[in-house]
Amino acid sequence: MALPKVGSIGEYIREQRTQAKISLRQLAAAAGVSNPYLSQIERGLRKPSAEILNQIAKGLRISAQALYVQAGLMEDREPDSDVLAAIRADGFITERQRQVLIDIYESFRKENRAEAPDENAQTAKNAHSAPEPRERDAGSPPNDEAPLPEEVFAGFEPDPASSVNGHVTPETREG
Amino acid sequence: MALPKVGSIGEYIREQRTQAKISLRQLAAAAGVSNPYLSQIERGLRKPSAEILNQIAKGLRISAQALYVQAGLMEDREPDSDVLAAIRADGFITERQRQVLIDIYESFRKENRAEAPDENAQTAKNAHSAPEPRERDAGSPPNDEAPLPEEVFAGFEPDPASSVNGHVTPETREG
DNA sequence: CCAGCGCGTTTGCAACTGCAAGCACCGTGA
DNA sequence: TCACGGTGCTTGCAGTTGCAAACGCGCTGG
């Protein structure tokens, strides 16, 4: 239980790297980490910190969120349907364009599956360790097993986007 | 400005905690970390790993993403089109495929704008970050069939660290 | 007065991250 | 043949995380 998903994240990184056709040293340089450390990360011998993960994500040109989810550091909705859902929900494109995008995306996915049949890392997203429904973002408090008093949530906005969005200094909140 | 974000994240956590009106020990217990460590984190003396951050986020009932962004471990989720965000965040496609999708999507958008420029002010979340005006033509999107414009692949080079985005770690380790 | 309980903080240490240096291997070319 | 550059991997070590134990402080109350 100490570090079971480490291998998963390592495989995932290696897979992304090989897909990008860059060497370990190249990615290490791009990410700003040392090559031996990246090697150890990819083989699951080390558990990279978030900072390193972030750098690797940058080096791989993928979102840090993807890596965090892979590393089990973030319970995110399925990144699979993310693109498809976004495409379907988009209101700026026509039906035909929508279908084209969906086709392209799915063919990309299929293509990758064909080239790298070791796509088990793809399903590693089911590594949810928390059985709770991820309905936390809704306005209503979860209230299921909260060790916090309910009145806590009275003036407590579970909407971090408002404060996070502009990199607001925490002190400015207290008028 | 070596590691000021640590203090920032600490203050942020403390603020969230005091707003929730829970004690340091309570949050520590809820988050599953030790109280002294949480104390040090809040005062900026320690830089918590992503795992700890995730735990703290759970204890605070805020999204881990908020903490990651605060900690500078994650670029703020771009509020531009959901489709672009989803494509950028997708970890199951290669960088080239990602660029292709983005190009196609943007060319669709451009195409639609040319035909119906009034559609611009339709939604609130418009693309705020278009750092690179994708001048590459790609104007002929894949029509009805065979939606895989391979000519789009031609000019793409997996060149990491060329123009990822600003906001990299301030410290350069080329000592 | 001291006992007990809560708060946040300090201290010392095991365990770990992350790196510099170096290793073993493979392909190229003089 | 050896030198050169490329790949990834192994090895010590400094610096750090994260925790258990203990501390100082304020409060309640016998």
Q: Express each pLDDT in B72-118 by its tens digit.
A: 777 765 444 578 877 877 777 877 888 888 889 888 887 776 665 54
CB A73 to CB B79 under 8 A?
no
Q: What are the phi and psi torsion angles at A139 (to 5°)? A: -70, -25
> Mutating which of B92, B104, B108, B157 best tests the A interface, going by the most A Cβ atoms within 10 A?
B92
Residue located via tokens 């026509």: A94
Most confident of A27-36, A44-53, A141-150, B13-22: A27-36
- The CA–CA distances, whole Å, from B87 to A32, A105, B2, B39, B114 equal 24, 9, 32, 39, 24
Say whether the CB atom of B33 is under 7 angstroms from strand D: yes
Say whether the CB atom of A54 is under 7 angstroms from strand D: no
Query: Is A62:B91 a contact under the CB 8 Å cutoff?
Result: yes
pLDDT of B23: 94
Rounded to the nearest angstrom, the minimum Cα separation between B24 and chain A is 13
Asked if residue B31 has pLDDT above 80, the reply is: yes
Asked if residue A5 has pLDDT above 60, the reply is: no
ipTM value for the complex: 0.56
Q: What is the pLDDT of residues A39-92, one digit of tens each?
A: 999 999 998 888 888 899 999 988 887 788 877 777 755 344 478 877 876 767
CB A148 to CB B30 under 8 A?
yes
> Mutating which of A82, A135, A136, A162 best tests the B interface, going by the most B Cβ atoms within 10 A?
A82
- Backbone dihedral region of A49: left (phi > 0), alpha (psi from -120 to 50 degrees) or beta? beta
Rounded to the nearest angstrom, the minimum Cα separation between B166 and chain A is 11
3-state secondary structure string across chain B: CCCCHHHHHHHHHHHHHHHHCCCHHHHHHHHCCCHHHHHHHHCCCCCCCHHHHHHHHHHHCCCHHHHHHHCCCCCCCCCCCHHHHHHHHCCCCCHHHHHHHHHHHHHHHHHHHHHCHHHHHCCCCCCCCCCCCCCCCCCCCCCCCCCCCHHHHHCCCCCCCCCCCCCCCCCCCCC
Q: Which domains does chain B have, with CATH numbers?
A: 5-70 (1.10.260.40), 82-120+128-154 (no CATH)
Residue located via tokens 């005006």: B133
pLDDT of A2: 32
pLDDT of B59: 93
Which of residues 44 to 103 on A have a Cβ less than 7 angstroms from any strand C atom?
A: 46-49, 51-52
